[in-house]
Amino acid sequence: MTAADMERVDVPLADLIARVDALTALRRARMTAGLLAEDRHQCDPADTAFALLPCTCTTVSTDADYPGFDAWITQQQNLNIAARRTR
């Protein structure tokens, strides 16, 4: 390496420290912004109000509403188990 090459590559330590500090601050700012966005996404201010609404539905689904479903789901589960065993 020539002296000219060294001049192009050689960077004062203070400049390197400043660059690293700036990059670290940028990463921290981005991480903080991401965490705050995630908190805002998970916090629904209307959730408790919605949960307090009365449920006016008086009917609940029963086996009579879906005849044959129990047998069908049992068959599907058995097929899945058999398929896993043959892999």
Please name the residue that has the structure tokens 């960077």.
11
Share of the chain above pLDDT 90, in %: 33
pLDDT score recorded for residue 1: 64
Beta carbons of 54 and 61 less than 8 angstroms apart:
no
The mean-pLDDT minimum among 1-5, 10-14, 18-22, 61-65 falls in: 1-5
Whole-model pTM above 0.85?
Answer: no
Contacts of range 52-59, beta carbons closer than 8 Å, 24 or more positions apart: none
Beta-carbon-side half-sphere exposure of residue 77 (alpha carbons within 13 Å): 6
Tokens of 65: 């509403």
Q: How many Å is the maximal CA-CA distance in the chain?
A: 89
| pLDDT tens sequence across 11-41 | 888 998 999 999 999 999 999 998 888 887 7
pLDDT score recorded for residue 62: 74
Q: Given a cut of 90, is residue 45 above it in pLDDT?
A: no
